C-alpha cells in the first residue's frame, strides 16, 4: 500500500490525526457533561435532576471517546503511552477515581434509597470535579514537557483550575440549549461567570507553550508562519466576543439563539486544540519522542485503519441518531 507514499510516514500522521480528533471530541462532549457535574453545588435538588436528565442519554458514549483516544495512543504509539502515563501516574489515578465516582453516581442517585440521594449527588459533583481538575493538571504538565519541578507543578495547578472553569462554562452552554425557565436563566449566569476561566486558560497555555520550548516559539513567531497563524488568535478573540454577546440576549421568551453559546464554545475548543496540535507536532511526548519514532509497526496500524475507515463513519452516524432522538429540551428521564 504505497499509494500515498511511505506508510511509515503517512500512517503515524493519520493516527496522530485520528487521536487528535478523538481527544477534541472528548473534551467537547465529556467537557460539557463534566461541566454540568461541576455546576451541581449551585443548583437546587430539583434542578440537579433536570441537569442529569440533560446528559443522561449521552454521557456513556461521551466517555467512550476518552477510551478511544487513550486506546489510539496505546495502540498506535505504545512507547509514548507508557512514557506519558507513568509520568502522569498520580493525576491519572485521581482522574480515574473521579470518573468511577461520577459514572456510578449517575445510576445510584436515582436507584438507591431516597435518603442516600444527597450523598450520591455530592459524589457526582466530587467525581466530576476530580476528573476536571486532574485533566487540567495533566494538560499543564504536558505543556510543560512532563517535567516535574515546582514551576511546572504550579503551572499545572493553575491550568487545572482554568480547565475546570472552562468545562463548567461549556456545561452551562449545554444547559442553556437543553433546559428552560429558571434553570436556563441560571445557566446563562453560570456561563457568563465562566468565560474568564476560558479566556485565562487559553491565554496561559498560549503564552506558556512557546516560552517553554524555543522550538514552539520559532514555529509561531517566525515569518511567514506568523501570518498564516494570525487568524487563529484573532478568530478566538472574535468567538469570545460573540459568545459574550449571545449570552446578553438570553434567556428570552422565544428561546432565540439558545444554541449559539454552545456553538461558539465548541468553536473556541476547536481553535484552542488546533493551536496546541500545531505547537506539538510532530512530537507525541513533548521534545522527546515524535509520532514517527513512537509508532507501531505499519502492518498493525494498517489493520486498525481498515477497520476504522468502516467503523468510524458508523459511529458518527449512530451518535448523530442518539442526539437526534433526544433532541430538544431535556425531559425527565424515564424508562418507559
Partner 1 sequence: MDTLMLSRIQFGANISFHILFPTITIALGWVLLFFKLRYNATGNVRWMEAYRFWVKVFALSFAMGVVSGITMSFQFGTNWPGFMETVGNIAGPLLAYEVMTAFFLEAVFLGIMLFGFSRVPGWLHTLATFLVAFGTTMSAFWIIVLNSWMHTPQGFEMREGVAFATNWFEIIFNPSMPYRFTHMMLASGLTVAFLLAGLSAFRWLLGDRSNGVRATLKTGVFMGALLIPVQIFMGDLHGLNTLEYQPQKVAAMEGNWETQSNVPLLLFAIPDEEARENRMEVGIPNMASIILKHKADGVVPGLNDFVAEDGTVMHPPVAPVFWSFRIMVGTGFAMLLLSWAAAFLMLRKRRGPEGIPTFMYVAMVPMAFSGWVATLAGWYTTEIGRQPWLVQGVLTTEMAVADVPAPFVGTTLAAYLAIYALLLAAYVGVLFFLARKGVDGDVPRPRTPLSGQAIAREIPAE
- Given the rule CB under 8 A, which residues bind partner 1? 56-58, 60-61, 63-64, 66-68, 70-76, 78-79, 81-86, 88-90, 92-93, 96-97, 99-101, 103-104, 106-108, 110-113, 296-297, 299-300, 303-304, 307-308, 311-312, 315, 318-319, 321-322, 325-326, 332-336
Closest separation in Å from C-beta 221 to partner 1 = 34
Chain CA centroid to CA 336, Å: 32
In whole angstroms, what is the distance from residue 101 CA to residue 122 CA?
10
Chain CA centroid to CA 117, Å: 28
Closest separation in Å from C-beta 114 to partner 1 = 9
Q: Which DSSP helix (H) or strand (E) runs through 242?
A: helix 231-248
In whole angstroms, what is the distance from residue 146 CA to residue 151 CA?
12
Closer by beta carbon to partner 1, 253 or else 328:
328
Question: What cell numbers appear for 85 in the block?
Answer: 502515563
What residues are paired with 285 via a beta bridge?
A: 289
Closest separation in Å from C-beta 8 to partner 1 = 14
Question: How big is the CA angle at 166 (ends 49 and 84), to the nearest 5 degrees?
Answer: 110
Closer by beta carbon to partner 1, 76 or else 212:
76
List the one residue out of 100, 20, 25 whose CA is nearest residue 281. 20
Closest separation in Å from C-beta 45 to partner 1 = 14
DSSP 76: H
Closer by beta carbon to partner 1, 8 or else 303:
303
Closest separation in Å from C-beta 287 to partner 1 = 19
Closer by beta carbon to partner 1, 179 or else 213:
179
Closer by beta carbon to partner 1, 216 or else 285:
285
Amino acid at each position: 500500500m504505497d499509494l500515498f507514499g511511505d506508510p511509515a510516514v503517512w500512517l503515524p500522521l493519520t493516527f496522530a490525526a485520528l487521536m487528535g480528533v478523538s481527544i477534541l471530541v472528548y473534551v467537547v462532549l465529556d467537557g460539557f457533561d463534566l461541566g454540568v457535574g461541576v455546576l451541581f453545588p449551585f443548583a437546587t435538588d430539583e434542578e440537579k435532576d433536570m441537569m442529569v436528565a440533560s446528559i443522561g442519554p449521552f454521557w456513556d458514549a461521551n466517555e467512550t471517546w476518552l477510551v478511544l483516544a487513550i486506546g489510539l495512543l496505546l495502540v498506535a504509539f505504545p512507547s509514548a503511552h507508557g512514557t506519558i502515563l507513568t509520568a502522569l501516574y498520580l493525576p491519572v489515578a485521581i482522574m480515574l477515581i473521579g470518573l468511577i465516582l461520577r459514572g456510578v453516581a449517575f445510576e445510584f442517585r436515582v436507584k438507591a434509597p431516597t435518603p442516600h440521594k444527597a450523598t450520591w449527588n455530592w459524589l457526582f459533583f466530587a467525581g466530576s470535579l476530580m476528573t476536571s481538575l486532574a485533566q487540567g493538571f495533566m494538560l499543564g504538565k504536558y505543556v510543560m514537557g512532563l517535567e516535574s519541578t515546582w514551576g511546572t507543578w504550579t503551572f499545572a495547578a493553575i491550568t487545572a483550575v482554568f480547565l475546570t472553569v472552562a468545562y463548567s462554562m461549556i456545561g452551562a452552554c449545554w444547559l442553556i440549549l437543553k433546559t428552560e425557565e429558571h434553570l436556563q436563566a441560571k445557566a446563562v449566569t453560570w456561563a457568563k461567570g465562566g468565560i474568564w476561566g476560558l479566556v485565562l486558560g487559553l491565554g496561559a497555555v498560549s503564552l506558556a507553550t512557546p516560552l517553554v520550548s524555543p522550538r514552539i516559539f520559532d514555529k509561531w513567531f517566525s515569518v511567514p508562519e506568523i501570518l498564516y497563524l494570525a487568524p487563529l488568535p484573532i478568530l478566538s478573540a472574535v468567538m469570545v466576543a460573540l459568545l459574550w454577546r449571545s449570552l446578553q440576549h438570553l434567556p428570552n421568551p422565544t428561546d432565540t439563539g439558545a444554541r449559539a453559546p454552545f456553538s461558539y464554545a465548541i468553536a473556541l475548543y476547536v481553535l484552542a486544540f488546533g493551536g496546541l496540535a500545531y505547537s506539538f507536532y510532530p512530537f507525541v511526548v513533548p521534545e522527546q519522542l515524535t509520532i514517527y519514532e513512537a509508532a507501531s509497526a505499519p502492518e498493525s496500524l494498517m489493520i486498525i485503519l481498515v477497520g476504522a475507515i468502516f467503523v468510524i463513519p458508523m459511529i458518527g452516524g449512530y451518535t448523530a441518531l442518539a442526539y437526534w432522538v433526544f433532541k430538544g429540551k431535556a425531559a425527565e428521564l424515564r424508562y418507559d
